[in-house]
Chains A and B, each alone.
Chain A
Amino acid sequence: MTTSFDKLSTGDTIDGPSFAVSLESIRLFCDGSLDYNPLHLDDNYMKNSFGKTNFGGIIMHGMNNFGLITRMLTDWAYPAGAIHRRLETRWVKPVKPGDTIQSVGIIKAKQTTEKSRWVLIDVLVKNQNDEKVAVGEAMVEFPLTA
């Protein structure tokens, strides 16, 4: 449903898309992003430890989470004439082939400035076990004309 700045309340949620992660989806993200880091390609290499971390196998690109959150925000903002302005994320848990992830947004605050209106949104990506794999914060602008 199309939203508007006036209708939004703190605590309102945005249900983002869910995304099935597979070796093929990770490989396609390599091609789409040109990020061919062996972290996302080479199972043998991923048996190694990285400093103090051992992932135990190929992991999804962290930026795939970022892309999924972006998709949620823009699909929500475009129909309202709003503009996705900022996204900050950090990764909490690696995502692996076989996982299904979903992004979610929760309205945190609304702010009116001299020339525009802004909505702050807590964002997260969770896996099929309801574990958070990425968390962050976004800012969407609702221009006065929107």
Chain B
Amino acid sequence: MKKFLSLFFLLALLSAQAELWAQVAVSGTVTDATKGDPLPGVSILIKGTSQGGVSDVNGNFNLQAPDANSILVFSFIGYQSKEVPVNNQSRINVSLEVDNKALEEVVVVGYGAVKKSDLTGSVATLKGGDLNKTPASSVDQLLQGKLPGVQVMTSSGQPGAGATIRIRGASSLNGSKDPLIVVDGYPWGDAGNLKQINPEDIESIEVLKDASSAAIYGSRGANGVIMITTKKGRVGETRITFSSLNTISTLAVKPDLWRDPIEEAIYANEAAINGGAIAADIPYTGVTRAGVYYPSIAELRGLDPDKAQWPYNTDWVDLVYRNPFSQSYTLSASGGSEKTRYSLSGNYYKEEGLSINNGYNKYTGKFNLDQQLSKAVTAGTNIVLAHTRNNGFGLSVDRSRIFPAYDENGNYFQIGSTDYGNPLSLANEVLNTTKTIDVLATVYVDAKIKEWLQFRTQLSTKYGNSVQDVYEPANVTFTGYESQGYGSIANSTYTDLLNENYFTLNKSFGSDHVLNFIAGYSIQKTNNRFSTLTGQGFVNDVVQNENLSAAVTKTLSNSLSRFDLASWYGRANYNLKDKYLFTFTGRADGSTKFGANNKWAFFPSGAVAWKVNEEPFLESLAAISELKVRASYGLTGNQGISPYQTLDRFGSARYYTGSGFQTGYGPGLASGNNEQGLTIVGGLGNNSLKWETTKSFDIGFDLGLLDQRFTLTADYYLKSTSDLLRLKTIAPSAGYDQQWINDGEVKNTGVELGLNADVLSGTELSWSIGANFTLNRNKVVAMGESDQVLIGTTYETVRQQISTYTVGQPMYMFYGYKTDGIIQTLEEGVNAGLTGTEAQPGEIKYLDISGPDGEPDGVVDSFDRILIGNPNPDFIYSFNTNLTFKGFDLSAQLYGVYGNDVFDFRKMTPSKQIQRWTPDNLSNEYPRANSTRGYKSSDFFITDGSFLRVQNITLGYNFRPELIKGVRSLRVYFSGNNLYTFTKFNTGFDPEMGELGINQGAYPRPRALSLGINVGF
């Protein structure tokens, strides 16, 4: 840390290389041009130097100008900058005009930036400062509810967990559905876990949504593009800022568990009896089973005259969860002269998980330098370093409270010899640590060949390494027991090299024609390398996985995947009379991933926009400050599959032949996993495999009223993706299982609205409100020769896959039986077409709705399965508001998802089990206790997953500048995250699910209360 600091100071000194001349003292006042109020905190810079000052609380400034001809540059956020020559004046009063900010803002698009008012495509923007202040190991999570058309799902509250991002819906069946992340012009890959960037370093985030804006990324643009721009150095004296965020978290949702051991035992006994257990197998009857004494109900109650009352009533929530404390500290410095600009920052991040022994640490550093080498040539570099360490995992708390955590000898208590569920032993004895290192660097050279022509070449590289250490002792986990100690080290390394070369041309012809061209070439090479060492069978657990060579059984695996992407791209913007805007974009991509016949593909797009407000007939309507109508159409692609899918690949397997195992090779399988979850790479090749193509149409408008005090952006889009990359199931009689093919079509249509209103905008009091609305309708239009395929995992509870792709329906529809409450009499059960135990009173009444001939046949069987639910929300929405009064600011954000179904495997929690069907309580909602029930996938589990969450409330105070000498700014704030959720979903669980909408009980999302401090020097 000391070194880090001295480096900072060194840089600070270098930049403050002040030259001392005959100086001129200048003072004055800065005011708001319209209101006349003094403006505090205005930055005043002497042009051509890094010297300057800041106006005080009364708008006054005092500084020394190098000479009488110096020019002062006044700049302040929200106002237009102004240059004032000193001209021998000693007192200069300056008034600054309010900036029509939204219109003059520059928006980063691929390979360049345009004025927001000149945008033709659909691009959503967010300033880094608008991100919520809450612990987030990856930036992606913070985008939730911030931008219309961008859906962010974080189904787990585990530290270090990423997020799932969908822009304008999911549009691939088996290919990647993740947007492309581009950081400072470098395409990093799929979004979802952007851990390398400290949110504090982000200047802006732009999301390219339509084909016109995303086509510049061609074959990677179909899922949308998220452009992240980090903070760069600015001309001016060195600014050092320090920020800290300290957070205490709590469980946001109280788990729905047994509160009373007696009720738990009664339920377990009843379930065993109803499940057909013989007397000896009814658990809580005062018997010893496999070395464990199970108390009787009377004993639990303390009513057994021969026994003392049962002493244990273990509160697992108390033992497993904690109120974690998390910290984040950022120190940064930036500044620069006209020739040199730099920015440097470092962050330490530590997030503790709700579960004990679970945490995430991160160190990131970023350095950015731009140096003007000559009048025409600028060079620069951008370096990002990240180191993370992830430790531990989520733990279950729904263990029986009848048994203790430790036995009388202080060992972890096991309920029977094959019980490996004690969360304390798992947390304390299992090693599971992942460390990652990422180094990302860009070096570029910009050359101004002519005033209107620029050339840029950029070399970027990315290196990352991840090492996962695992050890499971023989008596702690099932795997450990099976292996008699299981240790592994998994390594993965990736390297990525990118070279971009492009020309930018800007030329005006007369006052009516402005042309802007870019054209370039790029090549990107990616290499992913994996190896895993595994040892099974250790003498003892002392050295864990540190000496795998001592294992009885040792296994190795390694693999490498590499692919190249070569591209030619270009874009033309034509601005006619500053009213009519045209954009044409195209990119030709060649990828090694695709079949010999389809290596290259071309993705063109076009857009037009009409600035209606520039037309004479609207000029008289002064209230309308902006009205722009936009339309775009184009193609983007998706290449989101793994390499080598076009080649035929053999599989391997081992077979025991008496003296040992031999390895065999032969025709392989394409599917990801075998029964043991090991990846099999194999299968039938497909030389014709090609890109997925998305045709998108977008029409929208941007409306601004009263000098942009009220703005509305609205878009309607229609996305049709064809040649879907799909893992086609091959008729099993061919001996293969799946093959990557292109067929089928998915459609997404939707509406997005983004609204902002500066209700009050005074200098002392201002209030703004904003809202985002995203509505997407997804539909599988065709899918080769099938009308329906089941997808996803086979769930143990129902022993079938529960999600489907069905033609004519949205993706991920749930599939199963329909139910009609609970069977009340045996006769009712039999009449319903059920047999055996399924027909018993108290069981779930599945309905016979069809049969082999398409009509009810009196039997509930697989013909009776239909679509039972839709996990896609009707719409998602968010509200935010921001109130400032003098130094105080208060902001709030609400985020909501409406109209989605959740398949809730955890529906029968104890509070429901208490309401179960019994002969005395003829529930029509909750089935009887039955330990051997074979649930069917059915609408019994389907629950409305709508929710509205108070995502964030932040209250801050900005102390006046120079309150403490040398402190340019000081802000203290309190931020509460995930404060309350309005929902009808299963109490005991957070309603936010992953894309498939399946609840199996995820790592709980914490409620986080943070105290933050930002200091600027």
- The answer to whether A and B assemble together is no
